[in-house]
Structure 1
Amino acid sequence: MNVLQHAPRRRPRYDGNEARSLVPSMIGFLCISTLSTVVAISVQDHAGADQTFQQQKQPPQSNDLLSDAPPLLQWDRSCGAWGTCAPVTEATDIGKKAVRIDAPADEWTDTTLRWRVEIGKEPDDCILVLSARLRLLGVMEKAKPAAQVRLALEADGGVSSARCEVHDDPPGEHPMDLRVSCGRRALLQGGSTSRASVVFGLAAVRSAASVALESLSLRCAANTEVATASTSPAPPPSIPPLLHFIFGLSPDFGGKPFGLVHHLVIKSALHFASPATARFYYAHEPSGKWWAQTLPLLSPRLVMAPPAVFGRPLRRFAHKADVIRLELLLQFGGVYLDLDVMLLAPITPLMQSHELVLAHEGIDGSIGLGNALMLTRPNSTFMRRWYGAYTNFSDHVWNGFSVRFPLKLALEMPTAVHVLDYGAFYWPPWNAWGVAQLYRSSRCLLRGATAVHLWETKVWRTLLSELTPEDLHAQTSCFANMARAVLSGSYDFETATLRPGELAEENVAVLHSTSLLTHLLGAPTPRGPVVNLAACENLSGNDCVAWAKAGECEKNPQFMQVSCRRACSLCND
């Protein structure tokens, strides 16, 4: 046995100096060992370590092209073809600086702001997502303004259709978020540059509206991130599914407050037009039983009756209504109806097939093209020419710009408007014989007619002002038969429609009666003053004399021989 194996081991004895001398050696050993380990790891995973190091040093990649709304000075402002520009300022009362557009109530304004952005470095297959938050400034009215906000992406230097956009009503009490998604490749197709424009706009027709662009962002997203991306610009739209009604521009409603006949007209329009929205524009809100029943069906819009057009005064409310309906249709497109025009058939086929639809008033347009029912796309060429004619507006001839001018224009631009026969919208006619067909004969509608004009002004005081459902059930006139069909919801106008081969009644006795309306009512005592249509007087007042001097008795005989008999020297006294 080796004695050394059993020799006792002595415990090492360290004094203080020995301990201090060992500490540096131990630290050095540990450092060398640790460094060797780190070096070994680095050698074994050199590529991964370098990649991690580089990622830590570089800022994270971002696909945000725009993270906030640019300051006011970086936007380019432009105006619509006819609408003037509204003031554009900075909104400082919402906690941050934001661009705001303030549309005044007494003008038609169409204001567009553009900010250019470079998108050439983004992948071809990316989806550009533009998001905005809008806020309505000022007091929230009971009715919305007649306004529209738009957010869009459009190519610079590209084809005219290279645009992706969304339109909506201005925000209400709470902020509103809008988003547009558009494929980059589709947006830049045919473009000469790789730049696009962010577009923010506000259009308002005779209506006050103040909207702030609170925030704005633009980013490039993968296809998988945007489930409902609009990867290509939308094709030109058909006539928008919007209904437009104008009422209450004057405080007294022109002597014709909202009644049952207006309720029936709106109800029929909603049935046959299937609109996305039915907008009801007023300066003075109606009241009463039938308004309360109709209001839930409508989107009310507050407007101001236009005092002038192109600097030319509008003295009569009928002419104010003529102007504002053109402005609304130019800006928004859709279907305009007077509140005494009742739809009898679906109009969707017309809306999908044409840019603009009007109908003759009078046989072969002997009076003109009516403006009581119009279907049009926004900003149509024909409507622009028509509205532009108002730069020379004069009320010297009552229907000179509203009915007669569009007929003249249609002869010059036959491909810009689809003109229907007078029987489509305006049969029976508005003369005494036609009124008798509506309110005395039991059948008066033509088969295939799309609408009927009720000519309410001629019979308002004695027939329509206090009309009740009980009256409709007690009468057998053509009007009563069609009104009952709307009231009941059947929309079956067979009892009011002429049978095949049947001629309209002559109603000779009625035509030559000294009181047509007494016969129409079929009641011994009329409810109000009776208009004597056979009397020789100027129903249109003092204007008749000026019109007669201008030769209107010969140029427009159907109107003048009824409304201005004395001025046209048709009296025997």
Structure 2
Amino acid sequence: MASLHKNAWFFPFILGITLLAAGYYVINFHNIIELASSQSHYENYLNKGLGNSDCNCTAPKRTQKVPKILHYVYLNEDPASLPFNFTHWLAFTSAIETIKPEKTYFHCIHEPKSYWYQLIKPKVSIMKTRIVTKIFGNPVNIIQHKSDIIRMEVLRDFGGIYLDLDVIVLQPFDDLLYYDFTMGIEKTNQSTLCNAAIVSRPFAPFLTRWMLGYKDFDDSDWSRHSIRLPYNMSKVYSNDIHVLNATAFFWPTWMDEHLDLAYASNNYNFSNQYIYHMWSTKSYYKYLQYLSPKSIKSEETSFNRVVRKFLNYLPKDFNEKNFDFDG
């Protein structure tokens, strides 16, 4: 009996500790659940190597930085110049139907009048732009350089995806929207960053620096500020830009043998790239002026094969007999 009396305190003590622990858990249950579900706790959990690879946990999502909007710049200072033609319709249709943007902005001085533009017009928002004459006091006369400046300004102010009028979009851009700024390498006799496709958040640091580089702009130098300057900057400010390899955006290139590969052969596979730049300045008179819905349907080339699906977006009453390239 003496031994039993001596240990009588033990059972009430254990019961008290158990009740105290249970009470603490109930009181703090909400905080424990909140901590366990927080992103920081989840990340620490994985970093410590305690995560179960078989669990159905959903990893924290990355933050989208670039709005899913498209920008096109169409600088026809003379309303009669630069017709909006079939290849423009093809480029716009490929981008709108592949990227599926929330908005497509058409930055222009004068709206085109062609049939092909009328097909696209309901899908775009018209943004009247200005005629560029100077940048940082330096004269700007070449139309392509004027377009370079407008595209940088709209990306700075709005963010989004800028595309040249002769860019065919082959894959969605969704995974590129998580970077501050993205450009692709154009590799010919030297490496540059081509500005025919640019993905940027508003006021991206790389874009701001690039624009400031125009303080010594020289209109007589064709490519210095538009493609060579961003390439050189990418080596210095590599943390501010996502650079895609040469085949992602601008392959095949504008060189004659590459144009032949795209437009005259059936040997190139476009399946592993985001876009194809049609290089209209170089390819128009040899290839693009002869393109039509009929030729795309009937002639087996690498280019025709990959753009054929976009002809499904032609109006049901489209009459091939009345086809006019320039509308």
* 8 A Cα contact 1:340 1:453, kept in partner: yes
**Structure 1: 5+ residue stretches without partners:** 1-234, 490-526, 528-573
Q: 1:299 to 1:392 in 2, by over 3 A?
A: same
* 8 A Cα contact 2:205 2:240, kept in partner: yes
Residue 257 of structure 2 aligns to a residue whose secondary structure is helix
Aligned residues: 254
Q: Does 1:362 align with 2:187?
A: yes
Q: Distance in 2 between matches of 1:369 and 1:242?
A: 21
Q: Distance in 1 between matches of 2:114 and 2:291?
A: 13
* 8 A Cα contact 2:155 2:201, kept in partner: yes
Deviating 4+ runs (over 4 angstroms): none
Tell me the TM-score normalized by structure 1. Answer: 0.42
Q: Distance in 2 between matches of 1:305 and 1:342?
A: 27
Q: Does 1:421 align with 2:245?
A: yes
Residue 415 of structure 1 aligns to a residue whose secondary structure is helix
Match of 1:484 among 291, 308, 322: 308
Who is 2:66 aligned against?
Answer: 239
* 8 A Cα contact 1:277 1:299, kept in partner: yes
Who is 1:458 aligned against?
Answer: 282
Tell me the TM-score normalized by structure 2. Answer: 0.73
Q: Distance in 2 between matches of 1:296 and 1:466?
A: 27
Larger strand share, 1 or 2: 1
Q: 1:256 to 1:479 in 2, by over 3 A?
A: farther
Rg (Cα) greater in structure: 1
Q: Does 1:280 align with 2:68?
A: no
Shift, 1:236, TM fit: 7.4
Who is 2:150 aligned against?
Answer: 324
Structure 1 segment 153-192 matched on structure 2, within 5 A: none
Shift, 1:459, TM fit: 2.6
Who is 1:496 aligned against?
Answer: none
What do residues 506-537 of structure 1 show as CA deviations (whole Å, max 9, x unaligned)? xxxxxxxxxxxxxxxxxxxxx9xxxxxxxxxx
* 8 A Cα contact 1:425 1:450, kept in partner: yes
Greater alpha carbon shift after TM alignment, 460-469 vs 409-418: 460-469
Match of 1:271 among 85, 97, 100: 97
Who is 2:168 aligned against?
Answer: 342
Residue 422 of structure 1 aligns to a residue whose secondary structure is coil
Who is 1:471 aligned against?
Answer: 295
Shift, 1:427, TM fit: 0.4
* 8 A Cα contact 2:75 2:147, kept in partner: no
Q: Does 1:299 align with 2:131?
A: no
Who is 1:432 aligned against?
Answer: 256
Shift, 1:483, TM fit: 2.2
Shift, 1:463, TM fit: 3.6
Q: Does 1:385 align with 2:209?
A: yes
Greater RCO (CA < 8 Å, at least 6 residues apart):
2
Residue 370 of structure 1 aligns to a residue whose secondary structure is strand
Q: Distance in 1 between matches of 2:79 and 2:299?
A: 29
**Structure 2: 5+ residue stretches without partners:** 1-61, 314-324
Q: Distance in 2 between matches of 1:423 and 1:483?
A: 18
One-letter amino acid matched to 2:77: S
Q: Distance in 1 between matches of 2:79 and 2:187?
A: 30
* 8 A Cα contact 1:442 1:478, kept in partner: yes
* 8 A Cα contact 1:342 1:454, kept in partner: yes
Larger helix share, 1 or 2: 2
Match of 2:78 among 248, 251, 257: 251
* 8 A Cα contact 2:270 2:306, kept in partner: no
Q: Distance in 2 between matches of 1:486 and 1:431?
A: 26
What do residues 53-104 of structure 1 show as CA deviations (whole Å, max 9, x unaligned)? xxxxxxxxxxxxxxxxxxxxxxxxxxxxxxxxxxxxxxxxxxxxxxxxxxxx
Shift, 1:301, TM fit: 1.2
